[in-house]
Amino acid sequence: MSKMAGFWDKQIDRADQLATEPSGAKELLTFYARLLRAQAQIYESFRSRNDWVPSGDLANDVTVVQSSMTGLLECVERYGPESLAEEARVVLAAEPTVVALELIEYWHNPSDMQFFPKAVLQPYALWLAESRTTPARRELAGGERTCPFCGGKPQVSFLQSKESGAESGNRDLVCATCLCSWEFRRVVCANCGEERPAKLGYFHSPEFAYVRIEACDTCKHYIKGIDLTRLGHAVPLVDEIYAAPLDLWAREHGYTKIELNLVGL
């Protein structure tokens, strides 16, 4: 089993575990666990194709991507919230050429409001990373605040102890597109680059002691941070959803999330 196949198992196990806990996010986690299984199947279908290597240019790869996505659509049609289930029916019934254009459009101009392209292209982008295929013709903003591999925005940040003790180290951002992570300076807004401590706020709730809202008063954006030094077995993408009540808090206080997660929070 490759390292990245282990990636999906880790997310799924954590989502299953958190979904059994009494919390406000129980339904979200149950759905997310199903979604992760469907994404893992897409990923597995890429990996098991002996006759195909991705080109990194989605316009060339889109047929294979589409041929792998039916399971995810059916899963959402069956178990998703009504608005997404309806969208799934529309995509399942749509002309393949129309769906292909939507996927390609998302790839070049991503939006966190578009659930299906994001859900389907996460395993594709992760497979590009795993197979060391550089994404082609995807010129996004660049710079340290976007993923150095694919140009995606950050979904969540996490803190972990690293040996060297480098001052700038130990905070990483997870890419919302390829799900890989990159190192990022600790006291900097992940959206606008603000560095003045007085403009950056960190908010905790006793309910989620290892999760914080990292908010910026300059651009009014926020991202959630998972502190792995306090809870080592947390899995950032999943625990980020578990701490859904913090998103409501942030929104009530006038902050916009840098990138909505797959359950729309």
Q: Is 216 in the site for Zn ion (CB under 5 A)?
A: yes
Query: Quick one: 10 or 26, whose CB is closer to Zn ion?
Result: 10
Amino acid at 205: S
User: Could you give the angle at the alpha carbon of 83 between the alpha carbons of 78 and 86, nearest 5°?
Assistant: 55
> What are phi and psi for residue 200, nearest 5 degrees?
-110, 125
Longest dimension (CA), the chain: 55
Q: Is 187 in the site for Zn ion (CB under 5 A)?
A: no
Q: Which stretch binds Zn ion (CB under 5 A): 62-70, 104-112, 182-190, 256-264?
A: 182-190
Q: What is the DSSP string of 133-187?
A: ----S-----STTS-TTT-PPEEEEEE---TT--TT-SEEEEETTT--EEE--SS
Give, as ranges, the residues between 194 and 213 that touch Zn ion (CB under 5 A). 194
Residues near Zn ion (CB under 5 A), total: 14
Q: Is 178 in the site for Zn ion (CB under 5 A)?
A: yes
What are the b/e assignments for 86-112, b being 16+ CB within 10 Å? Answer: ebbeebeeeeeeebbebbbebbeebeb
Closest by Cα among 40, 80, 45 to 63: 45
Distance of CA 206 to the CA centre of its chain: 25
Query: Quick one: 79 or 203, whose CB is closer to Zn ion?
Result: 203
- Closest separation between CB of residue 126 and Zn ion, Å? 9
Q: Which stretch binds Zn ion (CB under 5 A): 37-45, 75-83, 116-124, 191-199?
A: 191-199
Which of 5, 64, 219, 260 binds Zn ion (CB under 5 A)? It is: 219
Q: Tell whether the torsion through CA atoms of 60, 8, 25 and 265 is positive or negative.
A: negative
Q: Is 189 in the site for Zn ion (CB under 5 A)?
A: yes
Query: Quick one: 149 or 158, whose CB is closer to Zn ion?
Result: 149
Q: Is 128 in the site for Zn ion (CB under 5 A)?
A: no
Q: Is 149 in the site for Zn ion (CB under 5 A)?
A: yes
Q: Is 110 in the site for Zn ion (CB under 5 A)?
A: no
- Closest separation between CB of residue 65 and Zn ion, Å? 16
Q: Is 250 in the site for Zn ion (CB under 5 A)?
A: no
Give, as ranges, the residues between 47 and 66 that touch Zn ion (CB under 5 A). none
Q: Is 261 in the site for Zn ion (CB under 5 A)?
A: no
Q: Where are the alpha helices (DSSP H) in the chain?
A: 3-19, 26-47, 58-67, 70-79, 82-93, 96-108, 115-130, 236-242, 244-252
**Alpha-carbon gap, residue 175 to 177, rounded angstroms:** 5
Query: Quick one: 137 or 233, whose CB is closer to Zn ion?
Result: 137
- Closest separation between CB of residue 201 and Zn ion, Å? 11
Which of 11, 177, 181, 261 binds Zn ion (CB under 5 A)? It is: 177
Supply 88's token pair. Answer: 């799934």
Binding site for Zn ion (CB under 5 A): 147, 149-150, 152, 175, 177-178, 189, 191-192, 194, 216, 218-219
